[in-house]
Chains A and B, each alone.
Chain A
Amino acid sequence: DVKVTQSSRYLVKRTGEKVFLECVQDMDHENMFWYRQDPGLGLRLIYFSYDVKMKEKGDIPEGYSVSREKKERFSLILESASTNQTSMYLCASSENRGPDTQYFGPGTRLTVL
């Protein structure tokens, strides 16, 4: 079974703090993704990576950066957290370069005060 794990289920941070969200997949997948989920807006892609050290902006990259130093690990960084980044963050991975099944982690509920 594919397993995607996220470092925290719940996180509370203060405005201006630097925040790291970690994601690890155990199936040697090529692609990894970071989404945020907000009611009525669905899943919006923040960044994705199709190879180690490779990254591409998604639809809403502003205020975020990512790092993929190892194939199994993809980190999302909020350089200076703001209240409008309060959201559910979901990590996913998929095996192939083309559209394929994405396997999601359980999500991190981030609250920025």
Chain B
Amino acid sequence: QQQVKQSPQSLIVQKGGISIINCAYENTAFDYFPWYQQFPGKGPALLIAIRPDVSEKKEGRFTISFNKSAKQFSLHIMDSQPGDSATYFCAAGRSSNTGKLIFGQGTTLQVKP
């Protein structure tokens, strides 16, 4: 019930390509879905987040697509750059749950020049 499943575990994309990372959740009470980006030697940092009242949110080259009926959400990175090479985590949370988030397993993205 509390799991968030993330795929793929690793991803290699050419510069300029589109990177797509998928997440699926089970608990329909989740109402907050953030993505975090982590560079080597650093802690994760919030990249972009969505709530289920919208199906898509875009910030620059990063877009979250949300499918409530399928209980899935995904991160799309357009025009991927070598500087996007990092580990990405999806997460899910509930408004009534004291700020607790359930994180996915992580995806290591490598963007080749």
Could you tell me the distance between the alpha carbons of A4 and B42 in the complex, rounded to whole angstroms?
Answer: 11
Stretch of B14-22, B67-75, B76-84, B102-110 at the chain-chain interface: B102-110
* Chain B interface category by residue count: 20 to 34
A40–B105 contact, CB under 8 A? yes
- Shortest B64–chain A CB gap in Å is 15
Chain B, 88-104, contact with A by CB distance < 8 Å: what is the 0/1 string? Answer: 01000111111111111
Kindly state whether residue A100 has any CB partner on chain B within 8 Å. yes
B104–A100 contact, CB under 8 A? no
Could you tell me the distance between the alpha carbons of A59 and B32 in the complex, rounded to whole angstroms?
Answer: 19
Chain A residues engaging chain B, CB cutoff 8 angstroms: 4, 30-31, 33, 35, 40-45, 48, 50, 56, 58-59, 90, 92, 94, 96-107
Kindly state whether residue B54 has any CB partner on chain A within 8 Å. no
The SS class assigned to the B binding surface is loop
With A90-B44, A106-B43 known as contacts, the answer to whether A98 contacts B95 (CB < 8 A) is: yes
CB contacts (< 8 Å) of B99 on chain A: these are 30-31, 33, 48, 50, 94, 96-100, 102
A40, A94, A104: the one contacting B44 at CB < 8 Å is A104
A56–B43 contact, CB under 8 A? no
Within 8 A of A (CB), among B26-78: 31-32, 34, 36, 41-46, 49
- Shortest A23–chain B CB gap in Å is 11
Closest B residue, CB atoms, query A58: B100
Cβ contacts A to B, 16 pairs, < 8 Å: A30-B99, A31-B99, A33-B99, A40-B106, A45-B102, A48-B100, A58-B100, A97-B98, A101-B46, A102-B36, A102-B46, A102-B101, A104-B43, A106-B41, A106-B42, A107-B42
